[in-house]
Structure 1
Amino acid sequence: MSRFLPDRYTLLLIAVVAASSLFPATGQAGDVLKIATIAAISLLFFLHGARLSTAAIVAGAKHVKLHAAILACTFLLFPLLGLGMQAAFPGLLSPALWMGVIFLCLLPSTVQSSIAFTSMARGNVPGAICAATASNLLGTLVTPVLVAFVLHKQGGGSGLADAGRVMLQLLLPFALGSLMRPWIGEWARRNNKLLGKVDRGSILLAVYAAFSAAAAQGVWHSFPPQDMAVLVGINAVLLGVVLFVTARGARLLGFSKEDEITLVFCGSKKSLMSGIPLATVLFGPADMGVIVLPVMLFHQMQLMVCAVMARRYAQREDAAGDAPAAASPRGA
């Protein structure tokens, strides 16, 4: 049953949401929290730039067909599904929650969990490293543009100004971290666990700031409780459809089983680590809590479902490896 329970980090996220809703930071404390959040998110992207190795990415970059399929799922299939569901059932959710769902669909893929599940399932790990990293790098630029284009009529995004803020707060620290990698890359590699805590701490701080501002603005009274159940259902449909399309699409495209696994786990993910920083830059404090709520729910759902799928892929590979050994006595 532990496979289906929230992990420790998700429990921390839930605790932070509860704490920020009960004890929101307002006034001067809210201003200090906003500055601290911007600094923490910039540090997060700086450290990602310092840790990113290029060797494995170069090795996995040659499979253009696989990477194109993953990017198409991330930045084309997901948005089309989200917009289609909103157009077909606009009354299922409030406009703010629909904006959060669409924002979820516009986010890049995850890096760590995509690679971890691909490795667990015996997939193409170098390809997953390349694809997930490329998705995150492109997402820093592509997601703000898509938000400005898709959500502009609904009040989200403001065109080039948003892209400029993203480049200043996220892409510039990442580039500086990459430039510093010859000097601090080895230190970052040795202290990966410590820097992982910095990553998670930055996200927890951003979540507290987001939901604190939402609570101060009375966001939780702006939509009925049953919207939460509907939101869970919409996230489940999104995840289920994308998992089905990626698995079937990989077979139609003639991918190997290893590449199918990579497409399934990289093409179906949405990044909480990138989503909250991007939302911090792209949306106002009053909207942040509702905007990131679909992302947080989808994050936990994708971890639980993909953990089960990765185990089944691995068991299937183990069974296939044992089959010749079992058949050899009969053929002797």
Structure 2
Amino acid sequence: MSTNEPSLLKRWFFWPSENIALAIPMMLILGFLIGIWVDTSLLKQFVLPITMFMIYPTMIGFKGKEVFNLSHGKLFLTVMGLNFLVIPGVAYLLGTGFLLEDPQLFAGLAITALLPTSNMTIAFTMLAKGNVPAAIQFTTSGLLLGSVLAPGYLYLMVGKYVPVDVLLTLKTIALVILIPLIFGMLTYKYLMKRYTQEHFQKQIKPFLPASSTWGMLLIIFISMSMNAKRIAQHLDIFMMALGVQLVFYAINYLLAILIGRRFFNEKEALTLVFSTVLRNLSISIGLAATAFGSNAALMVSLAFLIQGQVAAWFIKLNEKYGLLKKRCVD
């Protein structure tokens, strides 16, 4: 019996990260049902420490030197231009057009738009056989640039509609990104003194995204449960928010596909797509919940329902129909 317990516990531990498309809807439903009957507002105080716990594992093995890799110049400039100019502009237009009745939802969409790329970018680029080294660089650069630019962008985008405390946002970013980053780098340095790189990759690294997923699910549960009664009373606003997120991702995919097919080869175009359409939702939901509130976090939660599934479908569609194979300009 005891010999089977570790393997059973391991399966339970990895189940959410391996079945994310099922785990997130289950947590949203559970949060909604419990929130209808129980006041979970006291859980709000745990959002910040849970967020830090969630981000910390993703920072172990963070490759800061990739920021200064200059071998993907044209692709890098295109990705950064989309991530920090075009996509925030799309979010602003959608927010002012459809979400002004609930400015916190607008703030959640803005945060989603301002924090690009995540470990999913690297994973999906690898699965699609894109340019993985470039994806690593864009993920690293996007995280750092997004952290610096987010407070100012948020003030410009939503400051007119919802109060944006720039200093509080900076403090929140420092807590949910910089502190986990520092501890992640120190942890990695310590592990490299005790273990080989091979041991880290095979025995330790697989546990990191799985542990982050548990933190993410807890935040989704808290956000949904705190909004449950409001959603039940205003289902139209909930459906509007979901519809806006769907349109947001559809526009991002369309832009990335058109630009990638027009100016890059297929391998680079795949990297362009996954470095722009995939947002850093783990950090976004923590920032939204701590700096703006449960409604903003709910908006990011809806993006979780869309992002992974659509990326998987895109790989299949590209393989079947060659969405990125046409190349007009070298």
Q: TM-score, normalised by structure 2?
A: 0.78
Report Cα offsets for 1:234-264 as digits up to 9, x if no partner: 2222222211111222244x32211111111
Report Cα offsets for 1:268-306 as digits up to 9, x if no partner: 1122211111113311xxx31x21233222232232222
Report Cα offsets for 1:21-74 as digits up to 9, x if no partner: 2354557xx2xx44543323223333222232467x379652122122222222
Q: Which amino acid aligns with 2:78?
A: A
Q: Hey, which bits of structure 1, 4+ residues long, moved more than 6 A? A: none
Alignment of 1:1-332 (within 5 A): 7-22=21-36, 24=38, 26=40, 30=42, 33-53=43-63, 57=66, 61-89=70-98, 94-109=102-117, 111-184=118-191, 186=195, 189=201, 190-215=203-228, 219-220=230-231, 224-252=234-262, 254-283=263-292, 287-288=293-294, 290-315=295-320
Report Cα offsets for 1:181-222 as digits up to 9, x if no partner: 22125576422233222201111222233334445xx53366
Structure 1 residues 23, 107: CA separation in 2 closer, same or farther (over 3 Å shift)? farther
> Which structure has the larger Rg?
1
Q: Tell me how many residue pairs correspond in the alignment.
A: 299
> Which piece of structure 1 moves more, 93-102 or 62-71?
93-102
Q: CA RMSD in A?
A: 3.0
Report Cα offsets for 1:94-133 as digits up to 9, x if no partner: 4443333333322322x23222222222211111121123
> CA contact under 8 A between 2:54 and 2:282: conserved in structure 1?
no
Query: Structure 1: 5+ residue runs without aligned partners?
Result: 321-332
Write the distance in 2 (CA, Å) between the matches of 1:53 and 1:95.
36
Structure 1 residues 303, 49: CA separation in 2 closer, same or farther (over 3 Å shift)? closer
Q: CA deviation at 1:88?
A: 4.2
Structure 1 residues 60, 43: CA separation in 2 closer, same or farther (over 3 Å shift)? same
Structure 1 residues 233, 173: CA separation in 2 closer, same or farther (over 3 Å shift)? closer
> Which piece of structure 1 moves more, 292-301 or 124-133?
292-301
Q: Which amino acid aligns with 1:199?
A: S
Write the distance in 2 (CA, Å) between the matches of 1:122 and 1:75.
25
Write the distance in 2 (CA, Å) between the matches of 1:7 and 1:72.
30
Write the distance in 2 (CA, Å) between the matches of 1:58 and 1:155.
33
Q: CA deviation at 1:89?
A: 4.8
Q: CA deviation at 1:20?
A: 4.6
Q: Which amino acid aligns with 2:136?
A: I
> CA contact under 8 A between 1:97 and 1:291: conserved in structure 2?
yes
> Which piece of structure 1 moves more, 112-121 or 99-108?
99-108
Equivalent position of 1:328 in the other structure: none
The share of aligned pairs that are identical, in percent, is: 21
> CA contact under 8 A between 2:108 and 2:299: conserved in structure 1?
yes
Write the distance in 1 (CA, Å) between the matches of 2:240 and 2:54.
33
Write the distance in 1 (CA, Å) between the matches of 2:46 and 2:98.
39
SS in 1 for 2:231: helix
Query: Structure 2: 5+ residue runs without aligned partners?
Result: 1-18, 326-330
Structure 1 residues 12, 138: CA separation in 2 closer, same or farther (over 3 Å shift)? farther
> CA contact under 8 A between 1:23 and 1:212: conserved in structure 2?
no
> CA contact under 8 A between 1:47 and 1:174: conserved in structure 2?
no
Structure 1 residues 85, 37: CA separation in 2 closer, same or farther (over 3 Å shift)? closer
Write the distance in 2 (CA, Å) between the matches of 1:169 and 1:302.
22
> CA contact under 8 A between 1:271 and 1:299: conserved in structure 2?
no
